[in-house]
Structure 1
């Protein structure tokens, strides 16, 4: 742990060593990167012991080598879901870290993850940290590298750990820079949709109008639309036989109360998720700064611990506006998961269907199904395990047309139904099913098991199989996205600071000392990113984004002929990218 004086010196210390291009080894990027960024210090590379330890703790690729190195430090003593979450508020922070020097540039410097110099980890920069903590950090770093070296697929695991650690840095930088946000535009969007801002405790006028219509149509003048129990009772009393208030189920019924009820629910969602209270809480000095949690889900997709950045509705995207003299480069990977599936499976026919075009149209052109809508239903059904209705009818056609791709997800589903783990391309493995699942399966095998026990066991097995079926595809797509973002981050850094240029845009001061004069990532959503850039660099940034997508494909899939096209727009407002 650092003494107070040493903690104050940390940014200057790190900045000095950054000139040597080290890879910093620390227990938790989310704890240390924010204070460095606030002081104007950007770390190029790190190895996040917490995130990497979580991956290695579960990876089936590392089972044998993990058994040879069973000891773990205290901060890795919890399970993967907890490891992804932040440390307990108010807890004493673990040690910052030690620098592992590097001697040549590359995207991830994967070869250097194999090397470790005890002198650099235990001395040099780390002797600024008191006690034995630097030694513990070095020991855990050694343990993780040894597990990777002895794993079934060390090269892939090295890439995953490097990408995961880069993602941790990106998450911290996204929060530090923030999404450029115009509060006045957001307020107008809310007023247009909801009516004037109501007094505290009251509902907006539009919601009150819609609620009155619903009550009138249901002949229920005191109905509380915000209570699911009351709403279900009111719907059923009016003869609308529903089991839930989910939108998809409500749409199945032709009744004059349904349309205003769905409209009310949309406005209620807007008010609760991104209404005036959200605006006042999360948008400060022209920036929305969500708290990202890289690796926050089982598949490796990110989560947020505040702000709801992963669920920004289209209604409020018009409030995301670049600073004066700056612009936004918005890019999303078109149909990422189906392309990842084709590449993972080595399915050349599916890759050909996707090459340079809409993959669903390519499936139609390949003669597998008759219409684009059918292709989409079939492919999503295959990846998510839909076995009934239209998906159930079409998936067998897909299996005949693309047997390698369908065999991959079918094997993953079968493993899940047995209670086994599955693993992504680079080595992230799914969790085991919970104890209740195993108890359900066990009951069905007992001599006195009933038919209901057996049905319940089959149902829960299929449910877990659907999870593992999608896990391998979604998790590998998350790995591609990490490599894409890491490549973008590296290329943006190479574009440098525009402050010395004669045609330079005014600084984006609200983005903080690191990013005020250089293009920077500001938003990430699974397969979509936004870069905030000086207008004069927009074309160079767009090229960097495209090149990084191609490079991510090569990193994961080598020369397999699958492409990852981007829908890319250079726009002043996020809302304009949808056009």
Structure 2
């Protein structure tokens, strides 16, 4: 059974009950202030809620102690079905753009593939996608739901898409629950950690004492007494005036240079980043009632990875993890999936040799044991090169050996790369498809084929084609890994219910409080913490089965039951 929720006006909420064939059989008018009670009562029948955007509906229900088991997030589902090659012939995919379509497009960018890669685990989204259909009434929401059901039913692989949409919608529920419950955070410990690293809390606008001292060392070493080391342009000029041959102030480039300024400058950059990203101002803004409440955006990256709207939840540095402390009588169960993307590649390609290399052990050590490379570090470099398209240096040297040992896996990413270079679309395990390159990319490729094209036109076209090929090469792996992680969390969320007293608020039992692509943290009562650790591992195995069936690829998970996040790593 499905129940469609829509709010045609601020004062009025409509709930439409549907049978399994999406036929209406009951409609309810819900008075203002009565929604939570209605949902709580209806939850006893275990419906799947249908709404335009989980972010618009679920937080207020959580605040009133009501938890939803299942939903259909129409906005997230629409984006997937609109682009998926599996549903490309559906009425939904072929329709002109509407309010349900996200506003962001990949167009007119000089380096589109690079821009996609910039949305990596350490990045926050500047803002959430628009609330698609937020002003839609019941008719519009119901029509969109029926279009989506038809798109899935008529797709090439309905089972894959149904699993993807269910996992994506479950992720939206989990994101809202993690924001509501929050990650346990001790501001007093955070302040102590900052004071130890940076010096006492400064006046607003002033540099912490240790940063000011390092700035003085940088100025002295460069002979630039008025230098502001926070100005990248001024710093670059000062470095060049001192005779340093550098093209940027990036740390990786500075580390190659020998000069007395390098050590204090690198330390300044590291501590300055801490002060700006997770310093006292961050603590004042984001920690409330002993909790960090991050604003996650499921599907915020084109590969399906999450982003955040603020707070930097996807980049908590090690220096402040000591402030993440379980409540008295509780534990943190910290878990991460080992070598997730290479194992996803193993399943995608059905490479039995690579599956054997990772069965029951560290995959990189297994690659060494296979004879493909001679040490673990080389195995890791080679695999990263395969998934991200490195063709030079150590990765380029090792790739032929990897291709001989694991031909199916390497062939799969190479074919994905060639598709991108042609401007074609690639698709993840469950059906999320990559965006097509934009008009600027197409124009560059067209210019290279024109009768009056120059060698510069051809070089530019080849470079952009390779860049897009690097994106599609990684897209199939990263998007499928994101799907595995969603299935992992959805299964874990379901299993945690069995360890929670019936009718309890979410924060009264073991619950997810943090997620970082291949890592989760569960806040659990101490007496069930070991059971939670077992449940985390069992959920990972189930996620592997959901994506790859009986194919023998392992997804081992390392768990630690700790009092503080810093103890887990």
Structure 2: which 5+ residue stretches go unaligned?
1-7, 13-30, 108-124
Give CA deviations for 1:79-136 in whole Å, capped at 9, x if unaligned: 57899964659x99446xxxxxxxxxxxxxxxxxxxxxxxxxxxxxxxxxxxxx2232
Q: Distance in 2 between the 1:348 and 1:80 partners?
A: 39
Deviations 1:277-333 (A, max 9, x none): 000000010000010000000000000001110000011001000111111100000
Secondary structure of the residue that 1:419 maps to in structure 2? coil
Which of 528, 540, 562 pairs up with 1:537? 528
Which residue number corresponds to residue 32 of structure 1? 57
2:453 counterpart of 1:449: yes
* Corresponding residue pairs, total: 527
Contact 1:339 1:562 in 2 (8 A): yes
Rounded Cα–Cα distance in structure 1 between residues aligned with 2:242 and 2:104 = 48
Q: TM-score, normalised by structure 1?
A: 0.88
Deviates more, 1:441-450 or 1:32-41: 441-450
**Which of the numbers 307, 313, 323 marks the counterpart of 2:327?**
323
Q: Is the contact made by 1:55 and 1:80 (CA closer than 8 Å) also made in structure 2?
A: no
What CA deviation, in whole Å up to 9, does each residue of 1:239-291 have, x standing for no partner?
Answer: 21111111111111111111110000000100010000000000010000010
Among residues 229, 234, 241, which one is paired with 2:233 in the alignment?
Answer: 229
1:169-196 Cα deviation digits (max 9, x unpaired):
0000010000000000000110010001
> Of residues 381, 395, 410 in structure 2, which corresponds to 1:377?
381
The answer to whether the Cα contact below 8 Å between 1:84 and 1:296 also exists between their aligned partners in 2 is no
CA distance in structure 2 between the partners assigned to 1:54 and 1:541 by the alignment: 34
Relative to structure 1, is the Cα distance of residues 198 and 435 closer, same or farther in structure 2, using a 3 angstrom cutoff? Answer: same
Is the Cα–Cα contact under 8 Å of residues 81 and 92 in structure 2 kept in the other structure? Answer: no
| Paired position in structure 1 for 2:77 | 52
Residues 77 and 168, structure 2, Cα contact 8 Å, conserved in 1: yes
SS at match of 1:523: strand
What's the counterpart of residue 4 of structure 1? Answer: 11
Residue in structure 1 matched with residue 417 of structure 2 by the alignment: 413
Q: What secondary structure, in the 3-state scheme, does the structure 2 residue paired with 1:76 have?
A: coil
Match of 1:506 in 2: none
Alpha-carbon distance between aligned partners in 1 of 2:274 and 2:373, rounded to the nearest angstrom = 38
Note if contact 2:67-2:506 (Cα within 8 Å) is conserved in structure 1: no
The match for 2:38 is 13
Instruction: Specify every segment of 5 or more residues in structure 1 that has no aligned partner in the other structure, as ranges.
Output: 96-132, 500-512
1:62 to 1:238, Cα distance in 2 relative to 1, 3 A: same
Contact 2:426 2:434 in 1 (8 A): yes
Task: State how far apart, in whole Å, the 2-side matches of 1:534 and 1:230 are.
Answer: 52
Backbone CA RMSD of aligned residues: 2.0
Which residue in the other structure is 2:496 paired with?
492
2:566 pairs with 1:566: no
1:141 maps to 145
Q: Is the 8 A contact 2:92 2:147 kept in 1?
A: no
Q: Normalising to structure 2: TM-score of the pair?
A: 0.90
Aligned positions of 1:92-241 closer than 5 A? 93-94=134-135, 133-241=137-245
Partner residue, 1:106: none
Taking the aligned partners of 1:328 and 1:496, their CA distance within structure 2 comes to 16
**Cross-structure match for 2:314:** 310
3-state secondary structure, aligned to 2:320: helix
**Shift in CA distance, 415/79, structure 1 to aligned 2, threshold 3 Å:** same
Q: Who is 1:65 aligned against?
A: 90
Distance change >3 Å, CA 57–CA 229, structure 1 → 2: same
User: Helix, strand or coil: the match of 1:74?
Assistant: coil
Aligned pair in 2 of structure 1 residues 85, 221: CA closer, same or farther (>3 Å)?
A: closer
Asked if 1:524 corresponds to 2:515, the answer is yes
What secondary structure, in the 3-state scheme, does the structure 2 residue paired with 1:323 have?
Answer: coil
1:542-564 CA distance string (max 9 Å, x none):
11111100000000000111110
Question: C-alpha deviations, 1:18-46, integer Å up to 9, x for none?
Answer: 00000000000011000000011000000
